[in-house]
């Protein structure tokens, strides 16, 4: 990005016009093209004052084809998926879901962030996203609650067949 005085000048030759079509072909990004930049998502977002690129700017990045900017911004990982933008968007766009689609693209391109890596390994080892320790299971039994079993063969096979394991090793 080039600067002229206080104004950032974008160079459109680096834009990827196909990017928005890539996004709408994903499972969660279907609604993207409806965005007309009203900014309702940013106004509703509880995190927008704390992130570098606001939700409506991420949407604009996608529409313009600024792939790099969209995939590297802090916003997509900060999003807590609270769905406020989804219910308020006057165009029926689902920005929260678009963030998920972008996260997936970012994972494909740059690998998994560390915080998710731990979750992935836990799912493969335990079958649950959070480790249910022996201590917790013992406590559950003491309280008269059923013990929760770890990953079984069927679950392991499912993770294999959907190609999940390749995401775990980094």
Which residues lie near another protein (CB under 8 A)?
A: 26-28, 46-47, 50, 74, 77-84, 86-87, 100, 103-104, 107, 112-113, 115-116, 119-120, 123, 127-133, 136-137, 139-140, 143-149, 151-152, 154-155, 157-159, 161-164, 167
User: Looking at beta carbons only, is 37 or 113 nearer to another protein?
Assistant: 113
Q: Which CB atom, from 17 or from 144, has the smaller least distance to another protein?
A: 144
* Cα-based distances in Å from 64 to 37, 78, 111, 133: 12, 22, 24, 47
Q: Please, what is the minimum distance in Å from the beta carbon of residue 39 to another protein?
A: 18
Write the burial class of residue 79 (CB in 10 Å: 0-12 exposed, 13-18 middle, 19+ buried).
buried
CB of 33 to another protein, least distance (A): 18
Three-state secondary structure string covering 35-54:
CCCCCHHHHHCCCHHHCCCC
For the CB of residue 114, give the shortest distance to another protein in the complex, in Å: 10
Between residues 10 and 52, which has the closer beta carbon with respect to another protein?
A: 52
Taking the complex as a whole, the smallest distance from the CB of residue 72 to another protein amounts, in Å, to 15
Select 9 or 165, whichever has its Cβ closest to another protein: 165
CA angle 64–113–92, rounded 5-degree value? 40
Query: Residue 41 CB, nearest distance to another protein (Å)?
Result: 13
Pick from 51, 56, 66: which is nearest to 95 by CA?
56
CB of 37 or CB of 74, closer to another protein: 74
Contact 132, 72 (CB under 8 A): no
Which residues are within 8 A (CB) of 147 and not within 5 positions of it... i.e. 6 or more apart?
137, 140, 141
């Amino acid at each position: 990005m080039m600067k002229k005085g206080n104004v950032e000048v974008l160079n459109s030759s680096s834009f990827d016009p196909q990017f928005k079509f890539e996004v709408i072909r994903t499972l969660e990004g279907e609604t993207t093209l409806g965005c007309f930049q009203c900014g309702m998502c940013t106004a509703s977002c509880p995190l927008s004052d704390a992130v570098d690129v606001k939700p409506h700017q991420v949407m604009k990045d996608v529409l313009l084809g600024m792939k790099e900017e969209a995939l590297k911004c802090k916003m997509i990982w900060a999003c807590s998926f609270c769905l406020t933008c989804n219910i308020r968007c006057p165009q029926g766009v689902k920005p929260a879901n678009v963030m998920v689609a972008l996260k997936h693209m970012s994972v494909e391109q740059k690998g998994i962030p560390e915080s998710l890596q731990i979750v992935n390994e836990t799912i493969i080892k335990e079958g649950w996203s959070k480790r249910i320790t022996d201590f917790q299971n013992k406590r559950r039994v003491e309280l008269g609650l059923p013990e929760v079993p770890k990953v079984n063969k069927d679950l392991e096979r499912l993770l294999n067949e959907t190609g999940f394991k390749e995401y775990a090793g980094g």
